[in-house]
């Protein structure tokens, strides 16, 4: 979306007339806007992170290792806030280190994964129209109509309406004008990823072969194998009922994939499974963790994977031995307060990864697979991070009400002075089963919050992976239970410190974190002076009726709200609904609410309901509507205004 189409609506108790920033904004007004942002967000004399500076941070992503295994190809993306356009450049750098060189025609240097072994055949995905949706599909003569007609669920997903198209896998000879074979001909399903088998005669792909309402109720994706000779398709993970994905082959021809056991549970333990012929091994079944991504070693005798652990994401190693008599040992290779966010390649005895921490955006590193030592390869954001004051980030162990040890990250303002008192924010993570690690994001950015002079406490409360499967699962069907006690334990614990201003505490969060804010508003007993909720779940009944992935609400809420025979569901809707009179009648605290017009996961009505209650109860509140944003705020200018309003609200209320 271009700057001249930008449109944001802000509603306030102090100013009931909404302000619209639209296509009438000219360059002078844009300059004034950025200048005002810089003035309002730089409260300290020393340079710190600001919303505008955050969008100058370049996005670094590895593309691949060259065929000779000596060089890395990577992409650097910069954003022009004024035009809201991204510009990408491609670089090549030696894996041994050195200076990067910009290149253009890099594809000839990399293996083409769309081609089979002998490069005779090519596979690709294309959209295929199979379903009538629009008025003109049903009534061709009504070509000016604007109508969408649906007969089942899955009519929209995240931020996109179902338009009757499906992503199909097409295979053809690798030559111009060759006939393409639709592997899923006439099937109303989409393919999410594919890989060629070592023999070059079979292609494997991932698909959830369910349609409409069945699709919305299930997480059962499978891996299918299409044989080019027989033209037959086989489900090779049949009987595995959860998510099966990420298929790959070792140099020895062994097969690996990731698999979840239970249908409908999107945050189930993710296991690493390998096969040789008819022999199958679950390499992580015995391990109390969940795998994110993986890569084979060059000789096929090991697999390297990353996984959340202790509020971070680290690199692990596991042996692949089909003759083993006991479960393999899983070895953690890296340790530290950082995230190994992605594993791109394994080259010899090294892993090519991306690394982040709360103070630094992603850069590319090489990990020595024997010692676990990390060597930085790219440093595209050095000029930014070397010239701002950084936060001190410390791990804090908090005793919960049920006697467990809970990790929390505490992010201190740059140039922190323990003799002073600071306003403090409780950060409520979304998910609800998302790991709270050393992430770095242009959206919810803990470094930026601290740079504005706030202490941030981010607890790894119940429901987060990285602390064992039991801890991760304790949030399901208990959204307003122990997890809320965990939040209160976190803010109470940090508040024991003399540098925390107990009269200036707030709670902020998005998605489930927004739900947490709404729920805490009814139980916090005066702890918080201000709340901020972004795209949060407020009314569990209407959420069930308007969200798109029903399997999620079925699992986490326990089922449908009208199922009076379901005790788990009835407990959820009666005890854990933030919109219940028992909680809403205790609301007294000012609240800022953000919603996205294209958010179909947590539809904007959730925030509207909460804002309407706040207004009718006479509680200071503000409603900010982003018509073209989804569950996240992705537009650069929208993001800057989001952050500016965020800190403006805190300054008003804290």
Residue 29: predicted pLDDT:
44
Confidence of residue 36 (pLDDT cuts 50, 70, 90): very low
pTM score, two decimals?
Answer: 0.94
Sequence-distant (6+) residues with CB within 8 A of 21 are 6, 7, 8, 641
pLDDT confidence band for 11 (50 / 70 / 90): low
pLDDT at 23: 40
Start-to-end CA span in the chain (Å): 34
pLDDT given for residue 10 in this prediction: 58
**Is the per-residue pLDDT at 281 higher than 70?**
yes
Average pLDDT along the chain: 94
Residue 9 is predicted with a pLDDT of: 54
Q: How confident is the model at residue 3 (pLDDT cuts 50, 70, 90)?
A: very low
Average pLDDT over residues 169-194: 97
395 dihedral zone (left: phi>0; alpha: psi -120 to 50; beta): beta
List pLDDT tens digits, range 151-170. Answer: 999 999 999 999 999 999 99
CA distance 654 to 645: 14
- Tokens standing for 151? 């007969």
- Report helix angle 567-575 to 550-557, nearest 10: 90
Q: Are 274 and 255 in contact (CB under 8 A)?
A: yes
Give the pLDDT score at 325.
86
Residues 176-194, mean pLDDT to the nearest whole number? 97
- Structure confidence at residue 14 (pLDDT): 43
Element (H, E) at 31: helix 27-41
> Distance between CA 467 and CA 473 in Å, rounded?
10
Q: Taking residues 520-525, report their average pLDDT.
A: 98
Domain ranges in the chain are 3-55+385-539+577-653, 59-79+105-239, 247-380
DSSP string, 590-640: -EEEEEETT-SSS-THHHHHHHHHHHHTT--EEEEEETT--SS--SHHHHH
**Residues tagged active-site:** 511, 599, 631
- The answer to whether 621 and 13 have CB atoms below 8 angstroms apart is yes
Fold match between 3-55+385-539+577-653 and 247-380? no
Tallying the residues shown for the chain, one arrives at: 654
Beta bridge partners of 266: none
Residue 20: predicted pLDDT: 38
The reported pLDDT for the residue numbered 324 is 85
Q: Which residue, 262, 265, 301, is CA-closest to 283?
A: 301
State the pLDDT at residue 393.
Answer: 98
Range 571-574, long-range pairs (CB < 8 A, 24+ positions): 571/477, 572/477, 572/479, 572/540, 573/540, 573/541
Pairing of strands 455-459, 422-428: parallel
Q: What share of the chain is helix, strand, coil (3-state, %, to 5)?
A: 20, 30, 50
pLDDT of residue 82: 97
Residue 207 confidence (pLDDT): 98
Kindly state the average pLDDT of the residues 631-648.
98
Domain 247-380 coded CATH 3.20.20.190: no
pLDDT at residue 40 in the model: 44
pLDDT tens-digit profile of 71-129?
999 999 999 999 999 999 999 999 998 999 999 999 999 999 999 999 999 999 999 99
- Look at residue 221 and tell me whether its pLDDT is greater than 50: yes
Instruction: Assess contact for 212 and 150: CB atoms under 8 A.
Output: no
Tens of pLDDT, residues 585-601: 999 999 999 999 999 99
Residue 412 pLDDT greater than 70, yes or no: yes
Question: Residue 42 pLDDT > 80, yes or no?
Answer: no
Q: How many CB atoms lie within 10 A of CB 647?
A: 22
Cis peptide before 432 (omega within 30 of 0): yes
pLDDT score recorded for residue 46: 75
Spell out the CATH class of 3-55+385-539+577-653.
alpha beta
Instruction: Express as a percent the part of the chain with pLDDT over 90.
Output: 92
Q: Which element (helix H / strand E) includes 611?
A: helix 605-616
Burial grade of 443 (CB within 10 A; 0-12, 13-18, 19 or more): middle
């Amino acid at each position: 979306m271009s700057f001249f189409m930008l449109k944001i609506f802000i509603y306030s108790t102090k100013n009931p007339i909404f302000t619209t920033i639209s296509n009438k904004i000219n360059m002078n007004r844009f300059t004034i806007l950025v200048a005002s942002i810089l003035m309002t967000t730089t409260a300290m004399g020393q340079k710190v992170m600001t919303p505008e500076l955050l969008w100058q941070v370049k996005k670094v992503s590895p593309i691949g290792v060259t065929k000779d295994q000596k060089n890395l190809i990577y992409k650097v993306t910069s954003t022009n806030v004024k035009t809201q356009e991204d510009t990408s450049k491609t670089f090549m750098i030696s894996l041994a280190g050195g200076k990067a060189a910009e290149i253009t025609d890099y594809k000839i240097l990399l293996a083409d994964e769309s081609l089979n072994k002998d490069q005779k055949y090519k596979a690709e995905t294309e959209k295929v129209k199979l379903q009538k949706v629009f008025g003109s599909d049903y009534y061709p003569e009504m070509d000016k109509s604007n109508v969408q007609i649906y007969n089942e669920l899955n009519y929209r997903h995240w931020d996109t309406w179902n338009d009757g198209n499906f992503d199909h896998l097409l295979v053809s000879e690798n030559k111009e004008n060759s006939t393409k074979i639709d592997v899923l001909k006439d099937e109303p399903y989409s393919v999410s990823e594919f890989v060629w088998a070592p023999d070059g005669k079979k292609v494997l792909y991932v698909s959830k072969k369910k349609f409409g309402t069945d699709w919305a109720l299930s997480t059962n994706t499978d891996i299918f194998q299409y044989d080019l000779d027989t033209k037959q398709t086989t489900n090779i993970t049949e009987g595995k009922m959860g998510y099966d994905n990420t298929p790959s082959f070792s140099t020895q021809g062994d097969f690996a994939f990731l698999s979840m056991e239970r249908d409908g549970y999107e945050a189930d333990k993710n296991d690493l499974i390998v096969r040789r012929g008819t022999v199958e091994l679950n390499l992580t079944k015995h391990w109390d963790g969940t795998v994110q991504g993986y890569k084979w070693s060059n000789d096929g005798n090991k697999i390297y994977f990353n996984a959340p652990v202790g509020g971070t994401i680290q690199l692990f190693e596991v042996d692949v031995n089909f003759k083993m008599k006991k479960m393999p040992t899983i070895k953690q290779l890296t340790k530290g307060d950082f995230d190994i966010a992605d594993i791109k390649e394994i080259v010899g005895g090294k892993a090519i990864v991306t690394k982040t921490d709360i103070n630094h955006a992603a850069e590319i590193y090489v990990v020595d697979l024997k010692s676990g030592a990390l060597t930085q390869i790219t440093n595209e954001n050095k000029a930014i991070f070397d010239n701002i004051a950084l936060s001190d980030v410390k791990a804090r162990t908090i005793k919960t009400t049920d006697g467990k040890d809970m990790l929390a990250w505490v992010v201190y303002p740059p140039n922190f002075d323990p003799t002073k008192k600071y306003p403090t924010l409780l950060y409520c993570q979304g998910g609800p089963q998302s790991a709270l690690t050393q992430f770095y994001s242009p959206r919810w950015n803990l470094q930026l919050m601290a740079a504005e002079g706030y202490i941030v406490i981010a607890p790894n409360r119940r429901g987060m992976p990285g602390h064992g499967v039991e801890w991760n699962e304790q949030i399901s069907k208990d959204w307003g239970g122990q997890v809320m006690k965990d939040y209160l334990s976190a803010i109470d614990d940090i508040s024991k410190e003399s540098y925390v201003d107990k009269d200036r505490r707030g709670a902020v969060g998005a998605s489930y974190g927004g739900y947490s804010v709404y729920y805490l508003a009814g139980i916090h007993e005066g702890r918080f002076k201000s709340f901020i909720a972004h795209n949060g779940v407020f009314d569990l009944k209407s959420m069930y009726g308007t969200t798109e992935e029903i399997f999620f609400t079925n699992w986490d809420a326990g089922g449908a709200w009208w199922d009076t025979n379901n005790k788990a569901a009835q407990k959820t809707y009666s005890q854990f609904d933030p919109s219940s009179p028992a909680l809403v009648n205790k609301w007294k605290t000012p609240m800022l609410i953000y919603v996205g017009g294209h958010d179909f996961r947590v539809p904007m009505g959730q925030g509207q309901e909460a804002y309407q209650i706040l207004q009718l109860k006479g509680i200071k509140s503000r409603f900010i509507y982003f018509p073209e944003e989804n569950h996240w705020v992705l537009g650069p200018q929208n993001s800057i205004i989001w952050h500016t309003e965020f800190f403006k609200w805190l300054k008003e209320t804290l």
